[in-house]
Amino acid sequence: MQNHPQQQYNQAGYGVFMETLIWLSNLLAIIITFFATPEVYNRTVDFVIRFTAQNYGMGFDEYVSFFWWLITAGVIFCIVRMSVSTLFVMGGLTLAAKLL
């Protein structure tokens, strides 16, 4: 079964729209991660180092600090990207429902 040319055009436009949303979500997530990571890291790293020293012994401070920074940045990026993507999709659906 062949698609009507108008359907093919609509599908191509939808693909470009979704790809743009993904790029915008990634860009916003990178920007917010850049600003949020130091704040979250600085407020939590001492607790994580103390916890590690109490439960796993001394001498892991540098490794734990580095990996905690990576984990913090990764978690912030994923949460922000998920939130922004959901916001864009739900906002687009709401806008489309109001316009149609």
Output the pTM of the full model: 0.77
Residue 2 has pLDDT above 70, yes or no: no
pLDDT digits (tens, 9 = 90+) for 35-87: 999 999 999 999 999 999 999 999 999 999 999 999 999 999 999 999 998 88
**Beta carbons of 84 and 25 less than 8 angstroms apart:** yes
DSSP string across 10-70: HHHHHHHHHHHHHHHHHHHHHHHHHHHHHHHHHHHHHHHHHHHHHHH-SS-HHHHHHHHHH
Average pLDDT of the segment spanning 5-32 = 77
